[in-house]
């Protein structure tokens, strides 16, 4: 109960602090063409994680332009399809605070890199991964549509219906990032 209250208070405080800040206007096509370092936060729900992992196998193995850093929950031991230039960072139980945010030490470890794009694959809103994408400093931040996603992302993917809505949303993000193979 206290964790939910702390989560709610943290989210409201963030809304209040950013209520009047205007988003920087960026050139979408220029940001994508210049993107080299990509941060992808994988979902903390195991079912969503498995779908994301399945979709990630379609990342082009021939692409040498992009370096992808994956944030993965430590308890999910399913292998992530990576290329030699990619990095997998596993977040353990001490990486997150009771409010659901990542610890300052973990954030510093991630934000040492200059990211050009950050994408959050969380189907349901996750304050920690959304905040990590925002604090990554990436000018282009992509997430799935949710009630609070507009606070953290400048591109939101609508979660459409269909037979495989989550897979379609993840593939849409991949196509946008131009990292999808044939």
Domains in the chain, CATH or no CATH each:
30-177 (3.40.50.2000)
CB 130 within 8 A of CB 102: no
Q: Are 114 and 125 in contact (CB under 8 A)?
A: no
pLDDT mean across residues, the chain:
81
Q: Please give the average per-residue pLDDT across 62-70, as a whole number.
A: 85
Give this prediction's pTM.
0.80
Band (pLDDT 50/70/90 cuts) for residue 20 is: very low
| pLDDT tens-digit series, residues 80-128 | 778 888 899 998 878 888 888 899 999 999 999 999 999 999 988 899 9
With 50 as the cut, is the pLDDT of residue 54 above it?
A: yes
Q: Provide the angle, in degrees to the nearest 10, between the axes of the packed helices 127-135 and 104-111.
A: 40
CA distances from 75 to 44, 45, 55 (A): 10, 11, 20
Residue 87: half-sphere exposure toward Cβ, Cα within 13 Å: 12
């Amino acid at each position: 109960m206290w964790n939910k209250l702390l989560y709610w208070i943290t989210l409201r405080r963030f809304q209040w602090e950013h209520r009047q800040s205007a988003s920087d206007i960026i050139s979408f096509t220029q940001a994508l063409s210049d993107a080299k370092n990509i941060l992808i936060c994988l979902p903390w729900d195991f079912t969503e994680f498995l779908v994301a992992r399945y979709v990630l196998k379609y990342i082009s193995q021939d692409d040498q332009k992009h370096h992808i850093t994956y944030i993965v929950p430590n308890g999910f031991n399913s292998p992530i399809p990576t290329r030699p230039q990619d990095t997998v960072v596993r977040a353990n139980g001490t990486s997150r605070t009771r409010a659901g945010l990542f610890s300052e030490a973990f954030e510093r470890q991630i934000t040492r890199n200059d990211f050009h794009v950050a994408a959050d694959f969380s189907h349901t809103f996750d304050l920690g991964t959304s905040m990590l994408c925002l604090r990554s400093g990436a000018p282009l931040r992509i997430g799935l549509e949710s009630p609070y996603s507009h606070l953290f992302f400048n591109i939101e993917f609508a979660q459409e219906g269909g037979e495989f809505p989550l897979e379609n949303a993840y593939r849409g993000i991949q196509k946008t990032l131009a990292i999808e193979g044939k």
